[in-house]
Amino acid sequence: MNAPHSRRAFLAGTGALVIAFSSRKAFAQEGGPPNQGMGPAGVKKLPGDLSKFPKTDSWIKLEANGRVTVFAGKAELGTGVKTAFTQCASEEIDLPASSITMITADTALTNNEGYTAGSHSMQDCGTAIRYAAADLRATLIELAATRLSANAAELKVANGVITAPDGHKVTYGELVDGLDQARDVRPETKIKPNNAFTVIGKPFDRVDIPGKLTGTEMYVQDMRPEGMLHARVVRPPGYGAKLSNIDTAKAEKLPGVIKVVRDGSFLAVVAQREDQAILAMHVLEDSAHWDDQTKLPKQSDIHNVMMAFPHDDTTILDKGILGQPGAKSLKASYSRQYQSHASIGPSCALALMEGDKLTVWSHAQGMFPLQNGLSKLLAMPPENIRCIHTEGSGCYGHNGADDAAADAALIARAVPGKPIRVQLMREQENGWEPFGPAMSTNVSATVDAAGKIVDWQYDVWSTTHNNRPGGAGNLLAGQHLATPFTPDPPKPIPQPEGGGDRNAVPLYVFPNARVISRFIPTMPLRVSALRGLGAYMNVFSIESFMDEMADAANTDPVEFRLKHLEDPRARAIVEKAAKEFGWQPNAKLPRGHGQGFAFARYKNLGAYCAVAMDLSVDRQTGIIKIGKVVASVDSGEAVNHDGIRNQIEGGIVQSASWTLLEEVTFSGTEITSRDWSSYPILRFTDIPDSVDVHVIDRPDERFLGTGEAAQGPTGAAIANAVRRATGVRIRNLPLNPANVKAAIGV
């Protein structure tokens, strides 16, 4: 694999330790929707993240051997975007996937596309790759026309070979010498029409699955470079605890121990083998003395405590005049407990310090923000730090991956010249990761005699959903140093995407409506981004209440939703899910069985998704068993149908776990849900009996983010089905057996 001309050497494999650094400057962390349309003076804007990084070779580079390397600033987090990026490039450059090398999220090689978050990968990065590849192909055809003395419009292209009508040919590789790959992608570049597709929208195997199935080194947890040492950190027992005293002598004398690293309350041990590092970690834990733990609120009172904190209020929807009279009015309150990412694989990172250069391999979601945070943490120039994304076994938000990377970097500085591997223990991951915030919502509405909502009031209380690194204080190790860093002040994420108020504005059309976001700066527990941010809770609340209002209007829930939807794509999604499920108003079901329906458009900007399901509730045990699930999704143009189905299926299972089981528990001083018995997640025996996903492909529409579209509708559909099965509305998550039994009076 040859490196691009304009770049320095890069890794040929994750085990190779080749230091390379880029002069590329950091850019914005996370963009908005694709930047399309017309700019100043009528100049057409480049689409997606091309508007930030317009150079062709910052996205795709052709080599003399005819292969291309594609550079994506977004990372593969298990969502299949690496496959979709490959399809986009393959389609537009007319090369098979076997001739494409994909590089993702590497501060030395790729554009700074910030975090891989918010379902932005395809609309921002995939769009840019597609247009850059199309522009490169067009340029190659222009060069070939000159070389072959032919009309460009008459040339045929297939598998990197351009053929003239007279049969003369030239390969892509033969055109490299006359090719300017550093120029800007032209705004007038045209991508292929959908009737010419041979790759996009066609069956295409995931490029990452074979290695994962065969046990190839795919995850950062798998990396074992030569000379690697193992490290373990010792975390404090709870928030605010400080290391007051420790005797390290016993640990230092253990077999294989290389070094004990301490800086204030940051404590770690390095050993030759992993088992030796774990044993030494436990010895250090036994000899450590900690002071001044933070007092936490009572868990049973957390929502009242949070709503009593000072909050900054923002009206994000104000339409018409509230207080309209009607046939019936309802009000309700909903709540969600803190939730964990609960990654199956505890977070892991590798770091190597050589001279004044540091390389970090991490499965965090943002390599450039991580680079920035490590630069501040270590007082090193960012250009001396290279962060390389390597897949990890679990993420979906800001979990412990960034913290593990900071741990590894600090230890690597103390033990230079050797790759240092840090993997968190399960109790460290569960006890210290940033959780998805607890949230509360209040909603009231009025329906008129025609069964339409004429008055809608919605309030959401939430802390921040974004404490990602950028600043060193957002890295756990930075808070534990002798001279600690202060976390960045919590801030709300502005609309239209939002944080705690994501999806707080319904897509339904109400003549009079007000939505208020009540942002709480105080954070009793460490919180940050969990997949979907506030959308899961807000959709759960809105769609639960839509069912309640449908009952008040004596109307079928699906009919009631359609009555309030004007967006034709939204209506199509609702109708598709209902049809494929076989939804029947007032269906007669066995005792203890119920059907539920819910819908949302993620962020009101991304993919549309509707979910219908049936389930049963055992009244004696409180256990909910999901049966058939049918979902419909509109992600705009579908590059990979199976990939979209995978994302919706995964979102349904993940949301079912959140909704039925997941809840962080804590005492007055520490997190207590530190293992799988105290923080249960959905097991294989508990998954739905069947999941059927229907993709509505719209090849003439732009890409829409899919990865977080199903979580909100799934949670609400479960709650709505439980209401039909039990006759009781449960408004507080999770719907675990204890809460279900309490609600139905068992």
At 283-334, the pLDDT tens digits run 999 999 999 878 999 999 999 999 999 999 999 999 999 999 999 999 999 9
357 belongs to a structural domain? yes
**The residue type at 194:** N
637/543 same-domain check: yes
What gap in Å lies between CA 233 and CA 224, rounded to an integer? 19
**The residue type at 376:** K
6 belongs to a structural domain? no
30 belongs to a structural domain? no
210/225 same-domain check: no
Q: Which domain holds residue 122?
A: 40-214
Confirm if 609 and 717 have CB atoms less than 8 A apart: no
What gap in Å lies between CA 426 and CA 400, rounded to an integer? 11
Give the N- to C-terminal CA distance of the chain in Å, as an integer: 65
Domain boundary among 181, 214, 247: 214
140/115 same-domain check: yes
Backbone angles phi, psi at 645, to 5 degrees: -60, -40
672/596 same-domain check: yes
Whole-prediction pTM: 0.90
495 belongs to a structural domain? no
Query: Higher-confidence residue: 217 or 144?
Result: 144
- pLDDT category of residue 8 using cuts at 50, 70 and 90: very low
pLDDT at 30: 30
93 belongs to a structural domain? yes
- Rounded to 5°, the CA angle 378-432-352 comes to 35
206/225 same-domain check: no
CB-neighbour burial class of residue 402 (10 A; exposed 0-12, middle 13-18, buried 19+): buried
- Rounded to 5°, the CA angle 22-28-34 comes to 115
Contacts for 683 with CB less than 8 Å, ≥ 6 apart: none
Domain boundary among 379, 413, 432: 432
Neighbour count for residue 325 (Cβ, 10 Å): 9
| Nearest by Cα to 224 from 273, 268, 267 | 273
Per-residue model confidence as pLDDT tens digits over 514-523: 999 999 999 9
Q: Which H helix or E strand runs over 68?
A: strand 68-72
SS3 per-residue string spanning 174-220: HHHHHCCCCCECCCCCCCCCHHHCCCCCCCCCCCCHHHHHHCCCCCH
610/726 same-domain check: yes
pLDDT at 37: 52
Domain boundary among 181, 198, 214: 214
Per-residue model confidence as pLDDT tens digits over 484-499: 999 999 999 999 999 9
302 belongs to a structural domain? no
SS3 per-residue string spanning 230-286: EEEEECCCCCCCEEEECCCHHHHCCCCEEEEEEECCEEEEEECCHHHHHHHHHHHHH
What gap in Å lies between CA 232 and CA 242, rounded to an integer? 18
Per-residue model confidence as pLDDT tens digits over 181-194: 999 999 999 999 98
Contacts for 745 with CB less than 8 Å, ≥ 6 apart: none
250/152 same-domain check: no
Contacts for 558 with CB less than 8 Å, ≥ 6 apart: 574, 578, 583, 585, 597
What gap in Å lies between CA 378 and CA 413, rounded to an integer? 9
CATH of residue 258's domain is 3.30.365.10
What is the percentage of the chain residues whose pLDDT exceeds 70? 94
130/69 same-domain check: yes
Specify the number of domains making up the chain.
3
225/207 same-domain check: no
- Is 428 in a helix, a strand, or coil? helix
400/453 same-domain check: no
- pLDDT category of residue 9 using cuts at 50, 70 and 90: very low
448/541 same-domain check: yes
Give the start-end residues of each E strand in 292-438.
Answer: 312-319, 328-336, 348-354, 357-362, 385-389, 420-423
428/524 same-domain check: no
